[in-house]
Amino acid sequence: MTNKNYKTGIPETDQLIGELTHCCSSGDRREMFRQILTTVAKLGMEHDDLGDFKLVNTTLKELRHSFRMFYPYRTQRKVIVFGSARTLENDPNYTLAVELSRLLVQKGFMMISGAGPGIMEAVNRGAGKQNSFGVNIKLPFEQAANHYIADDSKLMQCKYFFTRKLIFAKESDATVLLPGGFGTLDEGFEMLTLFQTGKTLPRPIVLLEDKNGNYWKTWLDFIESVLIKRGLVSAEDRNLLQVTHSPEEATQHITDFFRVYHSLRYVRGLTVLRFTREIPVDLIRQLNFDFKDILTEGQIQASPPLKDELKNREHLDLPRLVFNFNHRNFGRLNEMIHAINHSVP
């Protein structure tokens, strides 16, 4: 958030920050950069815990590195795949991950993995170095990068799990989960939580497993018989994910999600959905009938780019729907996106 009154309160320090801001940034970025420098200065002035300084320093370095690594590829959609580091090459799920990555690359996607062994290795193997990213984690027992991504410019190391997971969510457009341990479940639940609470943009989330396995069936039994039954999550939250045993089906589900839907943007209280094709008037009328429960007021309607989008020149050529979303029923919002994808010719 921009706050031009955000300063250290010490004129000499604020002047130095202003001079450094002028040297290191330009245009619309300048004010935000000034606030970042002010935060760092205030931290140094108010605090003296070396451990906290180390945490902030490492976090900023890791985020900066990730921004630099992903920036040249921001216009290309990417899929993050999670799964066990202990999955062996002869495991059917390893083969599924390899084939899934090959198919998605053929459809124009790039792949992101945790860069380690097992399912992570299978992802980088299937995609090839040219279409792979690896975001590794430094562990006490050293998780070395697999040789399909090792020494590549699109590989980075993280000290902290939280920065690594932030990078996964920020830089990907779709999520696939294969069977795994605590780490896989942690990453899967985080993706679901971010989607459920609107902290990440809508995305396909696919649970993939060998046809003879029951890992995801057992997991879903718990979700439905405990979490949904006890009202701890909404029944509609089940619509946030898709289960399949086929890499072809998983690929189709992901590509279908972006067949018509392009992106979402919140603009001054309005939710803006952008599409690659015009949305027919009859379909908009049907959406207003079928999804009126997720509106706080008004109707879903077609719109030209809004003022803030014009200012930032955000996809000005794309058709849009705008509406007052309640920011609560993201499972239903996901249903609406699927309905549009399936209904538009």
Average pLDDT over residues 202-230: 96
pLDDT at 72 over 90: yes
Percent of residues, the chain, with pLDDT higher than 70: 99
pLDDT in tens, 280-296: 999 999 999 999 999 99
Tell me the pLDDT tens digit for each residue of 134-156: 999 998 876 789 999 999 999 99
Q: Give 71-105 as a 3 state SS string.
A: HHHCCCCEEEEECCCCCCCCCHHHHHHHHHHHHHH
Backbone angles phi, psi at 316, to 5 degrees: -65, -20
Write down the pLDDT at residue 3: 77
Give residue-wise pLDDT tens across range 317-335.
999 999 999 999 999 999 9
Residue 288 near residue 299 (C-beta atoms within 8 A): yes
Q: What span, in angstroms and rounded, lies between the C-alpha atoms of 115 and 157?
A: 9
Sign of CA dihedral 155, 157, 160, 161: positive
Q: Percentage of the chain surpassing pLDDT 90?
A: 93
Q: Is 100's pLDDT higher than 80?
A: yes
Q: What is the pLDDT of residue 177?
A: 98
How far apart, in whole angstroms, are the C-alpha atoms of residue 299 and residue 312? Answer: 26
Longest dimension (CA), the chain: 68
